């Protein structure tokens, strides 16, 4: 226990926590991308995958709570470190000394905050399915039939309908660009913080960080862009939009009804 | 040539400071930056004004006493040199040069451009040493050291402890300094017995002094007059993790061995 508390008390220990939680969150980002890329297949493909995840509640909630804990750890430690870092220079320079520093490295707290805000929206958008924030209608009413005959939530329709809204697609793209900047510095720094670096491996680590952050950006950006440009799922979305319409129209109809009274 | 200096003037730690502008007299471009300050100070003294206080000692780039943040970069515009090795020919006639002290909570200001860098000494005292019997010089090659380790240790040992890494870091972190001191002993056989105790003690002292943490911006490496590599910070991170995992040594029962 003493080594765990002394770990968190030291600035280096807090950097280990940042790097380790960052590594696990990065692995989730990769896994999540692989899952999401199934949207380029048939509607049944991603719906079956989503149904499979939902059918294992223990695993699903274990992973969800684990991720939540990781995010909390990553954010709280980042805030603590940033406060300590700010306190270490009470009087600022007339000219901020940024000499030799990578610009991405100076905005980790800012880019991280944007990503955190995005995660909140993304969870409300596609996980909690809050109506009224997606610009389409109530995603909870979407239903699909799996090849086995089971009824399930139509995740495919939700995605293709969701990204046909221009501001949703734009927000997702901005968030992905910010994640790209965050990972561009973070991925290489994880290795540094955990001590995995020498003159041979540092260029390779930097290359890995560059390639991985670009690949993640392209992979994630491809989904909303190809849907927004109606390359993917346009016909499917139209049939489903028809199903959605009554639900979307409920509120305005009720409102006019009240006015009529 | 002539330059305009915008210099931080502050009488003492607890009085407020401000920038003051001075016109230099005619300068020889081959003067060092510190010689330029000497000339400016002589004129100030002749006018009955208080000369600008700044740190300097060997003036040949090996003692680590000179400091100064010149136009936003510690030790001036060049790479791999200290302020004392920066010459006026690096500036243009008529330039305005902003000169500030190293700024960090752990480096309290003494006067004008002079700051107290004893925090670095205290980190050294915490573990930057080896315990050996002194006496006559040991035979050469009595203890074998791999050439690559000797080279790396020498690279780290080049650190002159000037504190430019702290001054340049946006977090005022002393990681590069501590990493250099930890590594140059940790790479050599003579440094092994105290290796883990050393890194633990020095990092803990660094935290206690109020330096910030490392965010791997690379500023420190870029301004270091001895071009110490960030690789050493990774080495220190490794050693510190190993020290944490090992934990405190087992308490000795009774009165111990001796």
Band (B258; pLDDT cuts 50, 70, 90): low
A198 to chain B: closest CA residue: B231
* Selection from B79, B215, B162, B160 nearest residue A101 by Cα: B215
Q: At A245, is the pLDDT very low, low, confident or very high (cuts 50, 70, 90)?
A: low
Domains with residue ranges and CATH for chain B: 4-110 (3.10.20.30), 118-246 (1.10.1060.10)
pLDDT score, position B61:
92
The answer to whether residues A154 and A256 touch, using CB atoms and an 8 Å cutoff, is: no
3 state DSSP class of B11: coil
Residue B89: the pLDDT is 96
Which of A1, A5, A8, A11 to mutate to probe the B interface, most B CBs <10 Å? A11
pLDDT of residue B207: 96
* pLDDT value of residue A247: 46
Q: What is the total residue count of chain A? A: 261
Of A14-18, A240-244, B18-22, B242-246, the least confident: A240-244
3-state class of B154 per DSSP?
helix
pLDDT at B255: 64
Cβ <8 Å between A99 and B219: yes
Q: Do B237 and A192 touch (CB under 8 A)?
A: yes
- Three-state SS at A207: helix
Interchain CB distance below 8 Å, A105 and B168? no
Average pLDDT over residues A95-114: 90
Contacts of B216 in chain A (CB under 8 A): 105, 185, 188-189, 192-193
Task: Please check whether residue B110 touches A, CB under 8 A.
Answer: no
pLDDT at A253 over 50: no
B114-139 per-position pLDDT tens digit = 999 999 999 999 999 999 888 888 88
**Interchain pair A85, B212: CB under 8 A:** yes
Exposure on the CB side of residue A46, measured as CA atoms within 13 A: 21
pLDDT at B46: 96
CA-based nearest residue in chain B for residue A203? B231
Residue B249 is predicted with a pLDDT of 80
Contact (CB<8Å) A185/B19:
no
Q: Which comes out higher in pLDDT, residue A244 or B60?
A: B60
Please judge whether B172 and A6 are an interchain contact, meaning their C-beta atoms are less than 8 angstroms apart: no
Q: Is the pLDDT of residue A251 over 70?
A: no
Nearest neighbour of A99 by CB, restricted to B72, B230, B241: B72
DSSP reduced 3-state for B131 = coil
* pLDDT of amino acid A165: 94
| Nearest residue to B174 via CA among B96, B251, B114, B233 | B233
CA-wise closest residue to A115 among A158, A59, A166, A74: A74
Q: Which residue has the tokens 């243009």?
A: B92
Q: Once rounded to an integer, what is the mean pLDDT over residues A223-233?
A: 95
**pLDDT tens-digit profile of A173-206?**
999 999 999 999 999 999 999 999 999 999 999 9
Res. A250: pLDDT tops 60: no
Residue ranges of domains in chain A, CATH in brackets: 9-89+102-251 (1.20.1300)
Across chain B, mean pLDDT equals 94
Of B171, B218, B234, the CB nearest to A197: B234
Given CB atoms, is B215 within the 8 Å cutoff of chain A?
yes
Average pLDDT of B86-101?
96
Q: Is the pLDDT of residue A260 over 80?
A: no
Residue A84 has pLDDT above 50, yes or no: yes
Average pLDDT in the A54-80 region?
A: 96
State how far the Cα of A97 lies from the Cα of A80, in Å rounded to an integer. Answer: 23
């Amino acid at each position: 226990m003493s080594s765990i508390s002394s770990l968190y008390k030291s600035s280096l220990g807090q950097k280990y926590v940042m790097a380790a939680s960052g590594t696990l969150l990065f692995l989730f980002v990769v896994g999540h991308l692989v899952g999401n890329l199934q949207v380029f297949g048939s509607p049944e493909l991603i719906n079956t995958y989503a149904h499979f995840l939902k059918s294992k509640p223990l695993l699903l909630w274990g992973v969800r709570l684990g991720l939540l804990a990781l995010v909390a750890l990553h954010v709280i430690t980042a805030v603590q470190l940033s406060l300590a870092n700010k306190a270490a220079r009470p009087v600022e320079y007339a000219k901020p000394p940024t000499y030799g520093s990578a610009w991405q490295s100076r905005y980790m707290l800012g880019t991280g905050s944007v990503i955190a805000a995005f995660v909140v929206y993304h969870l409300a958008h596609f996980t909690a399915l809050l109506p009224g924030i997606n610009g389409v209608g109530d995603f909870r009413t979407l239903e699909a039939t799996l090849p086995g005959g089971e009824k399930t939530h139509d995740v495919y329709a939700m995605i293709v309908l969701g990204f046909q809204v221009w501001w949703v697609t734009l927000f997702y793209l901005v968030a992905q660009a910010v994640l790209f900047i965050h990972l561009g510095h973070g991925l290489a720094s994880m290795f540094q913080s955990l001590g995995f670096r020498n003159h041979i491996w540092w260029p390779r680590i930097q290359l890995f960080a560059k390639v991985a952050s670009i690949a993640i950006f392209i992979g994630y950006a491809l989904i909303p862009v190809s849907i927004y440009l109606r390359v993917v799922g346009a016909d499917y979305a139209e049939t489903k939009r028809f199903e959605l319409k009554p639900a979307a129209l409920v509120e305005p109809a009720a409102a006019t009804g009240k006015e009529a009274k | 040539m002539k330059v305009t200096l915008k210099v931080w003037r502050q009488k003492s730690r607890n009085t407020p400071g401000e920038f003051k502008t001075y016109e230099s007299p005619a300068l020889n471009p081959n003067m060092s930056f510190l010689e330029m300050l000497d000339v400016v100070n002589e004129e100030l003294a002749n006018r009955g004004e208080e000369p600008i206080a700044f740190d300097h000692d060997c003036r040949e780039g090996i003692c680590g006493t000179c400091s100064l943040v010149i136009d936003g970069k510690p030790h001036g515009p060049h790479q791999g040199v200290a302020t004392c090795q920066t010459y006026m020919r690096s500036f243009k006639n008529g330039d305005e040069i902003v000169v500030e002290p190293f700024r960090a909570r752990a480096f309290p200001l003494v006067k004008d451009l002079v700051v107290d860098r004893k925090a670095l000494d205290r980190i050294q005292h915490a573990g930057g040493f080896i315990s050996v019997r002194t006496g006559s010089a040991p035979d050469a090659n009595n203890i074998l050291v791999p050439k690559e380790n000797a080279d790396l240790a020498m690279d780290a040992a080049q650190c002159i402890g000037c504190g430019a890494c702290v001054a340049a870091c946006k977090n005022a972190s002393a990681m590069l300094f501590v990493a250099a001191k930890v590594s140059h002993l940790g790479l050599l056989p003579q440094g092994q017995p105290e290796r883990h105790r050393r890194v633990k003690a020095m990092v803990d002292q660094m935290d206690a002094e109020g330096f910030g943490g490392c965010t791997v911006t690379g500023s420190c490496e870029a301004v270091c007059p001895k071009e110490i590599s960030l690789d050493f910070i990774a080495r220190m991170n490794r050693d510190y993790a190993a020290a944490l995992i090992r934990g405190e040594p087992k308490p000795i029962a009774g009165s111990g061995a001796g």
